[in-house]
């Protein structure tokens, strides 16, 4: 398939992405008007998450990712897992999360599953499995060649990223986040899965993804150099974003310790 001509001022707009974001925004707005509301900044965070989602899956970044550059695809994955996921989660009030998971909690098995999936070890493990599996050559190339499989890839990465951010960014009372001290320990481990994937990609001596080896060259960048650039792009944010989150949590913990009436459970990360 011949890719469309690339231009920074154009790019594909996907109706399914627009529809999904629109449905999420509508459901959130309806729930917000009917519930006890929350902090005024929460809708802004949720909207910022949806905006980042639309920017990642449409327009020039989408075209670069889907047709030309592995490194651009890594930027897309970083936006989904390190920007969209925490913003959507932190922008959702606790009562809204509780209403979403409440029906499952009525059954003993459902309550057990929800609590298990949102605990640190299972949540981070699922995120790690998703990241590593989808960046193996077989699944990755299949996602590039089959659009439906590509949609599944992005949904899985986004869903497991939400689970991974849950212990530090969720406001739910049914499946609560960690105490500040535990959040800090958790954030030390948060960047490990992406670092593992980045090291695998950066250290490879050959092109791992034939799709990009055959892709047209937009700039003077060989497929192997593009692949290594993508690995570095993953590596740096995988360290910096958890570090930034660690800093926020640390100072909130210090402030809470100084307040005699501080709640036992920390505020959401964002």
Q: What is the pLDDT of residue 253?
A: 83
What is the spatial distance between Cα 127 and Cα 132, in angstroms, rounded to a whole number? 9
Read out DSSP for 191-233? THHHHHHHHHHHT-SS-S-HHHHSSPPSSS--HHHHHHHHHHH
| Residue partners of 17: CB distance under 8 A and separation at least 6 | 53, 54, 57, 58
Q: What is the pLDDT of residue 261?
A: 52
Averaged pLDDT, groups of 10, the chain, 270 residues long: 69 88 96 85 96 94 91 95 96 91 66 85 96 94 92 96 95 90 92 91 92 87 94 86 86 75 56
Contact yes or no for 115/178 (Cβ under 8 A): no
Per-residue pLDDT reduced to its tens digit, 125-183? 999 999 999 999 999 999 999 989 999 999 999 999 999 999 999 999 888 999 988 99
Instruction: At 259, give phi and psi (nearest 5°).
Output: -100, 120
Q: H-type helices in 135-191, by residue range?
A: 137-145, 147-169, 180-190
Residue extents of the structural domains in the chain: 17-258
Mean pLDDT of the chain, nearest integer: 88
Contact yes or no for 123/163 (Cβ under 8 A): yes
């Amino acid at each position: 398939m011949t890719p469309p001509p690339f231009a920074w001022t154009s790019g594909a707009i996907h109706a399914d992405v627009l529809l999904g974001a629109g449905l999420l925004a509508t459901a959130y707005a309806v729930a917000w008007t009917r519930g006890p509301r929350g902090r005024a900044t929460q809708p802004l965070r949720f909207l910022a998450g949806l905006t980042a989602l639309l920017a990642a899956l449409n327009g020039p970044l989408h075209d670069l990712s889907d047709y030309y550059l592995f490194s651009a695809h890594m930027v897309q994955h970083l936006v989904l897992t390190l920007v969209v996921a925490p913003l959507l989660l932190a922008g959702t009030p606790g009562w809204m999360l509780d209403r979403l998971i409440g029906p499952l909690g009525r059954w003993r098995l459902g309550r057990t599953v929800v609590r298990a999936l949102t605990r640190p070890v299972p949540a981070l493990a699922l995120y790690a499995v998703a990241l590593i599996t989808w960046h193996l050559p077989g699944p990755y190339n299949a996602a590039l060649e089959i659009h439906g499989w590509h949609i599944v890839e992005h949904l899985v990465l986004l869903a497991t990223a939400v689970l991974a951010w849950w212990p530090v960014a969720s406001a739910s009372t049914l499946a609560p986040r960690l105490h500040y001290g535990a959040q800090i320990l958790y954030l030390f481990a948060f960047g490990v899965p992406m670092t593992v994937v980045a090291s695998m990609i950066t250290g490879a001596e050959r092109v791992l993804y034939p799709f990009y080896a055959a892709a047209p060259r937009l700039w003077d960048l060989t497929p192997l150099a593009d692949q290594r650039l993508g690995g570095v792009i993953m590596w740096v944010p995988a360290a910096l974003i958890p570090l930034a989150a660690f800093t926020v949590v640390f100072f909130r913990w210090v402030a809470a310790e100084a307040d005699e009436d501080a709640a036992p459970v920390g505020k959401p990360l964002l």
